[in-house]
Amino acid sequence: MKPQNEIPCGVIQDLMPLYNEGLCSEDSIMLVEEHLQTCEECREIYGQLDIPTVRKQSEPSEAETFKKINKKLKSSKITKIMSAVLCVFLVIFGIWNVSWYFLKYRPYDKLCSNMQPSGIGKGTQFRTEDAQFSYMVKMPEYLSFEGGFISISPVNKQKHDIYIDENGNPEYDITPYVVMFIWPQINGETVYGADIICGSVGYQMYIDKSLNLIPFENQSDEEIEKYEKMISEQYDKIKALMNAADNMWGFDAD
């Protein structure tokens, strides 16, 4: 006869599945193990397993613990590095955006405040004209500190005069016309360029405010002399374009 305070086999047998899965509380584990040590019937039901004297959760070895810690440290280090790189990229990108906006985009945006968008790509070109000249502002590309310019050209670009040559044949005399290009500078002297077009041929050159030629690098003396002569011949047209730019945008042309 079992003592009155001994737990019935039925209760122990109900706890066996939980005990076998390690889901019992410490008190229930002790009760099951004490019972199994004294009850042969329950041991057979449980599978006649050796009854552990102490049921402990296996602890990882020192090497395994070190590997886990090292893995976490590496993961944390990589995350920190990636976060730092991302932060640096965002800071640089933000600085570049702000610099481009104030140093490049905004000055051009002010120049075309009273002009209408024109050309391919909305907001990339702006145009207007008066009785004599056509004005165009080409906006700089996004985040690019290169590109962007202004052009001023005569409304009536070409004049075709017909004359008779010595053989009595009609010939067309195409009077040269000039287009001026301007590259405004935020910190520095504004850059001027003239494109003197004779028929289908154009001659591009840089000039200063006094309409003096600024030679290209390695430009020959012959070319320099030729370009200076063209500037002299088209002086009034170039000067008129420069004055028009001054009246339109206030570049203080001489």
Q: Please report the DSSP string for 75-91 in residue order.
A: HHHHHHHHHHHHHHHHH
In this prediction, residues 37-43 reach a mean pLDDT of 84
Least trusted range by pLDDT, from 22-26, 53-57, 99-103, 111-115:
53-57
Split at pLDDT 50, 70, 90, the class of 94 is very high
Average pLDDT over residues 113-129: 80
Cα gap 9→62, rounded to integer Å? 41
| pLDDT at position 32 | 84
pLDDT of residue 186: 65
Contact predicate 91/98, CB 8 Å: no
User: How far is 65 from 151, CA to CA, in rounded Å?
Assistant: 72
What residue spans define the domains of the chain? 1-57, 112-249
Averaged pLDDT, 46-69: 58
Q: pLDDT grade, residue 91 (50/70/90)?
A: very high
What pLDDT is stored for residue 118 in this prediction? 81
pLDDT confidence bin for 232, thresholds 50/70/90: very high
Q: Please report the pLDDT score of residue 198 as a whole number.
A: 81
Instruction: Determine how β-strand 177-183 pairs with β-strand 191-198.
Output: antiparallel
Over residues 182-189, mean pLDDT: 76
Pairing of strands 213-214, 116-117: unpaired
pLDDT exceeds cutoff 60 at 155: yes
**Each residue's pLDDT tens digit, 131-143:** 999 999 999 888 8
